[in-house]
Structure 1
């Protein structure tokens, strides 16, 4: 697979952050052999983990608020739209939407990046519970948790694109 094909196919699994796929390819971490989830996930995550804190913060900041203004405006990436809809975040009551907005604002003010959680398999109540718990974490704890959630999201996105071994 050529570099541009690889980046076109996998550059979006890290939300608006194609540099991860570019570096994995350029570093020779991805082989042209049969691609599967494991063969793509491991090098992508290795690049993400090796990135500077500032670069990882940029990846975190590329994620949309849950049930936020981009969702309302219909401006989410297709992956994010499907993920949020699957958790019911596109069908919030006005009170639920107000609570998400309140938490999104408080979280962003405290941590400097949006609340990130792999929503697949979760209900809106599960997400709110996690939100309300995690907002009390330290910045260091939450940075690590958010990065772990990004890695989980990447795995889920790759599973929708590739076969597993």
Structure 2
């Protein structure tokens, strides 16, 4: 697969951060046949080796859960599908207000949106995670958010690629 095709197909796995796919391809760590595990391993290594500022940029590229972009219909297809799967597209007015309040408090404290791999979670699970993680230190939460970004990327790759053995 050529670089441009790889970046076109997998550049959004890390939300709005095609530089990760570009660097993974350029590093020569992407090998055929492509499998979710091997591509994730290569891309996660690039993400981990990125500067703290670059990783912060990846975190900030993620939308708020049930936030303004969701209401305006401006989420990426992946984010839209993931949030809908957790029921975040069907919140009551009170639930939406609670998510807005938590998103605002979280961003004010940490400087990036609350990130969690929502696949398999309910809105109550997500609210509970919000509640427990808001008391973390910034360093703890930066690490947790980065782990969640990698998990989201893994889930996205699993939906795009077969596993190879």
TM range (shorter): over 0.9
Please give the alpha-carbon distance, in whole angstroms, between the structure 2 residues aligned to 1:74 and 1:146: 24
SS in 1 for 2:34: coil
Superposition map of 1:15-94 within 5 A: 15-31=15-31, 33-94=32-93
Deviation, structure 1 residue 92: 0.3
Mind listing any 5+ residue stretches in structure 2 that lack a counterpart?
A: none
SS in 2 for 1:12: coil
Indicate whether 1:110 and 2:102 are aligned.
no
Aligned position for 1:138: 137
Please give the alpha-carbon distance, in whole angstroms, between the structure 1 residues aligned to 2:6 and 2:38: 13
Please give the alpha-carbon distance, in whole angstroms, between the structure 2 residues aligned to 1:13 and 1:51: 16
Aligned position for 2:13: 13
Deviation, structure 1 residue 98: 0.4
Please give the alpha-carbon distance, in whole angstroms, between the structure 1 residues aligned to 2:77 and 2:54: 23
Please give the alpha-carbon distance, in whole angstroms, between the structure 2 residues aligned to 1:96 and 1:67: 10
Deviation, structure 1 residue 27: 1.0
- Say what the alpha-carbon RMSD is for the aligned residues: 0.5
SS in 2 for 1:67: coil
Please give the alpha-carbon distance, in whole angstroms, between the structure 1 residues aligned to 2:148 and 2:38: 20
Please give the alpha-carbon distance, in whole angstroms, between the structure 1 residues aligned to 2:163 and 2:152: 16
Deviation, structure 1 residue 37: 0.6
Deviation, structure 1 residue 39: 1.6
Number of aligned residue pairs:
164
Mind listing any 5+ residue stretches in structure 1 that lack a counterpart?
A: none
- State the Cα deviation string for residues 32-76 of structure 1 (Å, max 9, x = none): x21111120110000000000000000000000000000000000
Please give the alpha-carbon distance, in whole angstroms, between the structure 1 residues aligned to 2:75 and 2:37: 27
SS in 2 for 1:29: coil
